[in-house]
C-alpha cells in the first residue's frame, strides 16, 4: 500500500471513529502500519484507549500499555472496569507500575491525577554545561517532553524554573541558580481540573508543576493533558448523538473501509 493511501486510511478512521463499534475500532487500527497505529492510539482519549486495549491479546495488551507514559497509563486504568484494573497495572514494568500506582491514589479530575511524574529537574549548584549534559541523559532515559526545567533542592522542593531555550543560550560557566526564575506558577496536587484549566488560560504556559503542601514537586501537568480532558468530554457528547449514513449492502458483507467511509461521511460534511 502506498504511503499516501495509508495516510488517507488513518484520516478516514479518525473521522469515522466516534460512530464505530469497539470491534470496528480495533479492526481499523489493525489496518494501519504499526507506527501509525501507535500514534493513533496515543492521541485517543483514555476511555477509547481502554476500550481498544481490553479487546487485545495478553501480548498486545502488554505492548500497548508499555507504550503509554505513566499519566496516560493511569488514565487508561481509571477508565477501565474495576475487574480489569489490576491486570492492566500488572503488565507494566516495575518502575512504571510504582509511578502509576501513586497516580491512581489521586482523584482523576485532580492535578495529581492528571500529572506526569516524569519531568526535567536540576540542582541549583550545577553549571550550565553540567546541566545540559545531565538533561540530555534524562531525555534519553525517561522524559516524554521537555518544556521547562525545574530546579529542586536536596529535599525535592521547588526553587525555580528555567526554559529550555534560556538554558541552552546561557554562558556555560554560569550556574543554574544564576539563571533560574523563582516566581513560579504552580498547582496544588488536589486542585481540580477546572481550576487548573483556568490557570493555564491565565498564564499561557505549556506546563505547570504540581506541588504538595510542603512544596515537593510531584509531577507536571502539560497543556496537552488539559486539552485531552476537554477533548474526551467533547467526544462523549458527540457519541451521544452520532449518526450513520445508510449502507448500500448488508452490514456483514461490506468491506471495513467501505463502512468507515460511509459512517465517517457525516462528520466531514
β 148-152/158-163 pair status: antiparallel
Q: What is the CB-side half-sphere exposure of residue 146 using CA atoms within 13 A? A: 23
Q: Taking the domains of the chain in order of start, what are their residue ranges?
A: 3-114+251-268, 121-225
Position 215 scores a pLDDT of 96
Residue for grid cell 464505530: 20
To 10 degrees, the CA torsion angle through 39, 41, 262, 243?
Answer: -130
Residues 6+ apart with CB under 8 A from 77: 50, 85, 88, 89, 100, 104
Nearest alpha carbon to residue 232 among 23, 46, 17: 46
Nearest alpha carbon to residue 175 among 212, 110, 123: 123
Express as a percent the part of the chain with pLDDT over 90: 62
Per the CB < 8 A criterion, the answer to whether 167 and 135 are in contact is yes
Stronger pLDDT, 238 or 189, i.e. the higher one: 189
Per the CB < 8 A criterion, the answer to whether 209 and 187 are in contact is yes
pLDDT of residue 227 exceeding 50, the answer is yes
Position 138 scores a pLDDT of 80
Position 177 scores a pLDDT of 97
Stronger pLDDT, 138 or 104, i.e. the higher one: 104
Per mean pLDDT, which range of 21-30, 158-167, 230-239, 248-257 is the poorest? 248-257
How far is it, in rounded angstroms, from Cα 206 to Cα 229? 15
Q: What is the CATH number of domain 3-114+251-268?
A: 1.25.60.10
Helix residue ranges per DSSP H, 148-255: 164-169, 176-179, 193-203, 223-241
- Which grid cell is 127? 553549571
Position 163 scores a pLDDT of 92
**Domain 121-225, second-level architecture:** Roll (3.10)
H or E stretch including 245?
Answer: none
How far is it, in rounded angstroms, from Cα 138 to Cα 118? 10
256 — pLDDT class (breaks 50, 70, 90): very low
183 — pLDDT class (breaks 50, 70, 90): very high
pLDDT of residue 17 exceeding 70, the answer is yes
160 — pLDDT class (breaks 50, 70, 90): very high
SS3 77: helix
229 — pLDDT class (breaks 50, 70, 90): low
162 — pLDDT class (breaks 50, 70, 90): very high
**Angle formed by the axes of helices 94-103 and 70-79, nearest 10°:** 60
C-alpha distance from residue 149 to each of 120, 123, 131 (Å): 5, 10, 10
Express as a percent the part of the chain with pLDDT over 70: 79
How far is it, in rounded angstroms, from Cα 251 to Cα 262? 11
Nearest alpha carbon to residue 257 among 32, 3, 4: 32
Per the CB < 8 A criterion, the answer to whether 150 and 249 are in contact is no
C-alpha distance from residue 118 to each of 67, 71, 242, 258 (Å): 15, 9, 37, 42
Per the CB < 8 A criterion, the answer to whether 143 and 90 are in contact is no
pLDDT of residue 238 exceeding 90, the answer is no
User: Exposure of 126 by Cβ count < 10 A (0-12 exposed, 13-18 middle, 19+ buried)?
Assistant: middle
pTM: 0.74
Average pLDDT estimate for 38-61: 94
Q: What is the pLDDT of residues 79-109, one digit of tens each?
A: 999 999 999 999 999 999 999 999 999 998 8
Average pLDDT estimate for 25-34: 90
pLDDT of residue 1 exceeding 70, the answer is no
Average pLDDT estimate for 155-161: 97
Amino acid at each position: 500500500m502506498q504511503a499516501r493511501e495509508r495516510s488517507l486510511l488513518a484520516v478516514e478512521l479518525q473521522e469515522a471513529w466516534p460512530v464505530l463499534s469497539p470491534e470496528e475500532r480495533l479492526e481499523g487500527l489493525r489496518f494501519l502500519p504499526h507506527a501509525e497505529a501507535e500514534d493513533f492510539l496515543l492521541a485517543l482519549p483514555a476511555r477509547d484507549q481502554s476500550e481498544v486495549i481490553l479487546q487485545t491479546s495478553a501480548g498486545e495488551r502488554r505492548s500497548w500499555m508499555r507504550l503509554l507514559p505513566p499519566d496516560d497509563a493511569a488514565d487508561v486504568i481509571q477508565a477501565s472496569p474495576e475487574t480489569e484494573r489490576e491486570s492492566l497495572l500488572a503488565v507494566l514494568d516495575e518502575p512504571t507500575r510504582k509511578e502509576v500506582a501513586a497516580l491512581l491514589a489521586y482523584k482523576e479530575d485532580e492535578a495529581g491525577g492528571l500529572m506526569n511524574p516524569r519531568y526535567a529537574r536540576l540542582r541549583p549548584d550545577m553549571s550550565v554545561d553540567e546541566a545540559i549534559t545531565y538533561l540530555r541523559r534524562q531525555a534519553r532515559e525517561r522524559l516524554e517532553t521537555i518544556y521547562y526545567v525545574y530546579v529542586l533542592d536536596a529535599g525535592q522542593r521547588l526553587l525555580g524554573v528555567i526554559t529550555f531555550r534560556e538554558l541552552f543560550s546561557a554562558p556555560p560557566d554560569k550556574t543554574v541558580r544564576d539563571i533560574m526564575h523563582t516566581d513560579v506558577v504552580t498547582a496544588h496536587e488536589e486542585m481540580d481540573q477546572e481550576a487548573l484549566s483556568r490557570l493555564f488560560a491565565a498564564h499561557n504556559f505549556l506546563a505547570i508543576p504540581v506541588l504538595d503542601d510542603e512544596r515537593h514537586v510531584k509531577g507536571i501537568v502539560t497543556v496537552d493533558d488539559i486539552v485531552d480532558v476537554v477533548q474526551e468530554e467533547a467526544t462523549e457528547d458527540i457519541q451521544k448523538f452520532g449518526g450513520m449514513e445508510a449502507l448500500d449492502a448488508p452490514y456483514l458483507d461490506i468491506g471495513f473501509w467501505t463502512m468507515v467511509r460511509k459512517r465517517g461521511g457525516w462528520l466531514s460534511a
